[in-house]
Chain A
Amino acid sequence: MLKSIKQDWLSNIRGDVLAGLVVALALIPEAIAFSIIAGVDPKVGLYASFCIAVVIAFVGGRPGMISAATGAMALLMVTLVRDHGLEYLLAATLLTGVIQIIFGYLKLGSLMRFVSRSVVTGFVNALAILIFMAQLPELNPSTPGVTWHVYAMTAAGLGIIYLFPYITRKIPSPLVTIIVLTGVAMYLGLDIRTVGDMGELPDTLPVFLWPDVPLNFETLAIIFPYALSLAVVGLLESLMTATIVDDLTDTSSDKNRECKGQGVANIASGLLGGMAGCAMIGQSVINVKSGGRTRLSCFIAGFVLLLMVVFLDDWVSQIPMAALVAVMIMVSIGTFSWSSITNLKEHPLSTNIVMVMTVIVVVFTHNLAFGVLAGVLLASLFFANKVSHFMLVTSEINDDGSLRTYKVIGQVFFSSADKFTNSFDFKEAVDKIIIDLTHAHFWDITSVSALDKVVIKFRREGTEVELIGLNEASATIVDRFAVHDKPEAVDGLMGH
């Protein structure tokens, strides 16, 4: 116990504190930008980022991962906030947390194994595209306050972000960008949009408050669909990020604890006036890159974020939106999986279609859950199609032409059932046929009824039918998959 506390919190203090500071600085523009996406005051996102980061540091399952208010979640809230207001968002946030805790106890984290690699890549890319698209209104000339100054400042910001690390890597370049651009805007007295124009900033520590909504069925009917989407997307992004951090640090994490932790963090956020959030891919990469490895870095990030925002709120409100846009463009570029583009040529077409489909669905629905659902469905269909090729029916006739023996080998299920039926020659006039199923596997009811159909058809032609090895073939229908996990069952599956 003590050992694990030491390991989880204090094994890398210097690296974690520095990384926590870097992440805190990067979280501020993100939290503000995501609040604006969701259509709420910046303070809602900032409080959320503080709460989630600090709480998840204690209750999360993946040390070294950063959670806060995220774009994926913010995009789901837009219509809820627009139609019903902030209080309903807070209530939905609470409910999201509850659902996530239930998912955690049901161990639904293990369902992640159905989400294939290409769906994950599609999710990440779609997220990057959405974050980028959310910046476009700030660059749209028809938005009031957007002049050529904004373009110049955004370009300058991006220049600083990517070129400053060549001068020194000791100071976070996004911070330099924000300070320089704010200074320039204030010095020149430019009339451009600033964070202060976007809504209220926090001036106090967050206080406990119960969402001011009527506690009735109507409220539940409004918030439940949103909460469910939020819970699913939050867990998806968190578990994907956890896998990325697992890979980067070559350590393992407790995925079910992470699910419950995300739930607890969201409940805390909802009660302190924050929006729902989840793990952040970009920030977690920044954290690992800056040397953060334990729970301490996430805690420091949340804590420092709040301190800076509460005590520097006058300064924060002066930050021009152009600086935030530059930072967010960096985040979206960093989130995008570049290798997925270069790999397009090498990967099989079905994989590429799954990835691109996931991206397209997300970009059109603005809901990552739908994209993942589409991707998973498509991937399953492709898989079923591939496996259905592993079915073969051979036949031979005896010398006097009265008996034909069909041998079925391989997987018979919904996708290969038609192929199975079509492999028999019903027109042939023989006295008797034998269907040898010893080397076949019947996986579902569709395959069984296909077999029935074949038998009946032959009988109607006046042909006698004999089945061999039906028991072995149908053993796989039994839905007790645990049996098949045992080595001897696998032997039977491959061998019989």
Chain B
Amino acid sequence: MTNVVACIDGSSTSPAVCEYAAWASKQLDAPLQFLHVLDKTETPAPANLSGSIGLGSREALLSELTELDEKRGKILLEHGRHMLEAAKEIAVNNGVSQITCKQRRGDLVDTLKELEPEIRLLVVGKQGEDGDSLGDHIGNNLERVVRTMHRPILVSPHDFRQPQSFMIAYDGSATTRKGIEMVASSPLFKGLPCHIVMVGTATNDMNAHLDWARKILEVAGFSVVTEIIAGEVKHVLCDYRDQYDIGMVVMGAYGHSKIRQFLVGSTTTKMIQHTSKVPLLLLR
């Protein structure tokens, strides 16, 4: 649990991912690692629909397919190396000293699972390489990553903006209470003003929760603003974020089961979809 790991894939979000990772690495005083995973995508050989097989067909086919994969693999490897170099340069320019680069083959989620013990904070882009044209939708790897990992994940928007303040989406549940404690004990947000937002109509219970959270954070040295606003979760959070020009949103991720998500939809997914300008820190 030492590194800030940033996932680079060559999409247009990657530079922002690098910058946010550099920022987090400096705040946390943790080494920064750039990770590029060479996903094996299935691209079949040029089709030969003749349907005939002769002597040595199997051997010929094997060598033909191997040759194709070899060429493709070399290009991808080279491409990945260039991307990692570029990422390193951004981080160096931002004043990060401890930088490592890592290239692995395989599935992104599986690779991250293997690396999990070394990861302190994971920085990923909202959309992958093929997602640049997807508009507001979230990339196809992101939800799987978030669901599998048990580390904080920073979802980067398209452009970098130095965070000047942050807000915590709070509902008094065990997950978010733990999140408050994590934020309080982490150097990541040191010195930034903090907003705690609860969604709902104010009750004594909620006020008690809010006071507890405020106390924890104030003891840790944050200046805290709290607010209880009624309305639909996503709208309230987004409106508040835009109104106060918040630099980063902190929330618990996927607190509910997959079945519930299928029926009512997930707040986390909705929030990621609306993270076009402000990064989102997901706490698991």
Selected contact of A250 from candidates B50, B51, B69, CB within 8 Å: B69
Interface locus among A18-26, A374-382, A422-430, A456-464: A18-26
- Whole-angstrom CA separation of A327 from B80 in the bound complex: 46
Query: Are B65 and A333 neighbours in the complex by a CB distance under 8 Å?
Result: no
Q: Decide yes or no whether A446 CB sits under 8 A from chain B.
A: no
Q: Decide yes or no whether A385 CB sits under 8 A from chain B.
A: no
Task: Give A181-213 as 1s and 0s: 1 = Cβ < 8 Å from B's Cβ atoms.
Answer: 000000000000000000000000000000000
Q: Could you tell me the distance in whole angstroms from the C-beta of B36 to the nearest C-beta in chain A? A: 20
Query: Are A285 and B51 neighbours in the complex by a CB distance under 8 Å?
Result: no
Query: Are B54 and A162 neighbours in the complex by a CB distance under 8 Å?
Result: yes
Q: Could you tell me the distance in whole angstroms from the C-beta of B148 to the nearest C-beta in chain A? A: 11
Given the known A-B contacts A12-B44, A247-B62, A250-B65, are A334 and B57 also in contact in the complex, defined by CB atoms under 8 Å? yes
Q: Decide yes or no whether A445 CB sits under 8 A from chain B.
A: no
Query: Are B49 and A172 neighbours in the complex by a CB distance under 8 Å?
Result: yes
CB interface residues, A 4-18, toward B, < 8 Å: 11-12, 15, 18
B-chain residues with CB within 8 Å of residue A281 when the two chains form the complex: 58
- Whole-angstrom CA separation of A395 from B57 in the bound complex: 57
- Whole-angstrom CA separation of A293 from B40 in the bound complex: 13
A-chain residues with CB within 8 Å of residue B144 when the two chains form the complex: 3
Query: Are A286 and B42 neighbours in the complex by a CB distance under 8 Å?
Result: no
Among B48, B59, B69, chain A packs the most CB atoms within 10 A around the CB of: B48
Query: Are B61 and A334 neighbours in the complex by a CB distance under 8 Å?
Result: no
Query: Are B47 and A15 neighbours in the complex by a CB distance under 8 Å?
Result: yes
Selected contact of B44 from candidates A25, A291, A333, A335, CB within 8 Å: A291
Task: Give A334-356 as 1s and 0s: 1 = Cβ < 8 Å from B's Cβ atoms.
Answer: 11111100000000000000000
Given the known A-B contacts A250-B65, A291-B45, are A339 and B56 also in contact in the complex, defined by CB atoms under 8 Å? yes
Interface of B (DSSP majority class): loop
Query: Are A249 and B48 neighbours in the complex by a CB distance under 8 Å?
Result: no
B-chain residues with CB within 8 Å of residue A337 when the two chains form the complex: 58-59
A-chain residues with CB within 8 Å of residue B52 when the two chains form the complex: 161-162, 164-165, 172-174, 330, 334
Count residues of chain B with CB under 8 A from any CB of chain A: 25
Q: Decide yes or no whether A308 CB sits under 8 A from chain B.
A: no
Q: Which residue of B lies closest to A294 (CB)?
A: B42
CB interface residues, B 14-73, toward A, < 8 Å: 40, 42, 44-59, 61-62, 65-66, 69
Range for the number of chain A residues in contact with chain B: 35 or more
Q: Decide yes or no whether A320 CB sits under 8 A from chain B.
A: no
Interface of A (DSSP majority class): helix
Query: Are B51 and A333 neighbours in the complex by a CB distance under 8 Å?
Result: no
Q: Which residue of A lies closest to B66 (CB)?
A: A250
Given the known A-B contacts A12-B44, A285-B61, A291-B45, are A173 and B51 also in contact in the complex, defined by CB atoms under 8 Å? yes
Given the known A-B contacts A285-B61, A290-B47, A290-B49, are A330 and B54 also in contact in the complex, defined by CB atoms under 8 Å? yes
Selected contact of B48 from candidates A11, A282, A290, CB within 8 Å: A290
Q: List 24 A-B contacts (CB under 8 A).
A: A3-B140, A12-B42, A12-B44, A162-B54, A164-B52, A172-B51, A173-B52, A247-B62, A248-B62, A251-B42, A282-B53, A285-B57, A289-B57, A290-B51, A291-B45, A291-B49, A292-B44, A330-B53, A333-B53, A334-B58, A337-B59, A338-B55, A339-B56, A339-B59
List the 5 closest pairs (A to B, CB-CB), nearest first. A334-B53, A172-B51, A165-B50, A291-B47, A338-B56
- On A, residues with C-beta under 8 Å from B are 3, 11-12, 15, 18-19, 22-23, 25-26, 161-162, 164-165, 169-175, 244, 247-251, 281-282, 285-286, 288-294, 330-331, 333-339
